[in-house]
Amino acid sequence: MQLISVKIDKPDDTNFVFGQTHFIKSVEDIHEALVGAVPSIRFGLAFCEASGKCLVRWSGTDSAMVELAQKNAMAIGAGHSFILFLGDGFYPLNVLNTLKMVPEVCRIFCATANPTEVILAETGQGRAVLGVVDGLRPTSIEGDDDILWRKGLLRQIGYKL
């Protein structure tokens, strides 16, 4: 067995969700759930099929996001994993609960715009996701000024009153 790390290749501000699901039907069900939850959502989805032809199955409403999803799914190559890239102006916060409610979705590893690495174990059979490195390591504890900044930002962008 080998441990490997695959860096998610994406533009800096692009948000994505990485998870695990269990059935080829997931591609259509995730697509339908997203467009039902957020009208006019722009996204690209790719799913690593774990049996049969073992293809990267895909769907989406934005060709650039679909291409990102396909490229990253091929690089990760772990059976039954999926990666969803969101177009500008769409955020994991808007779709995370919807994704979790799709019956085939087993787990969400991360939902972020941070630099991310997927940690994999590779055997003769295939690859397994062990976890993710989401962003950077903390440098210190937030102080009073940092708390004010955080609270101000959340109100500025409309997530708190």
In angstroms, the CA 119 to CA 111 distance is 15
pLDDT above 70 covers a percentage of the chain that reads: 100
Q: What is the pLDDT of residue 160?
A: 83
pLDDT, mean of residues 91-116: 96
Q: What is the pLDDT of residue 158?
A: 84
- H-helix or E-strand spanning residue 150: helix 144-156
- In this predicted structure, the answer to whether residue 33 has a pLDDT above a threshold of 90 is yes
Q: What is the pLDDT of residue 120?
A: 98
Which residues lie below 8 Å from residue 99, measured CB to CB, with a gap of 6+? 17, 19, 30, 33, 34, 84, 105, 108
- Alpha carbon of residue 70 to chain centroid: 12
pTM (two decimals): 0.93
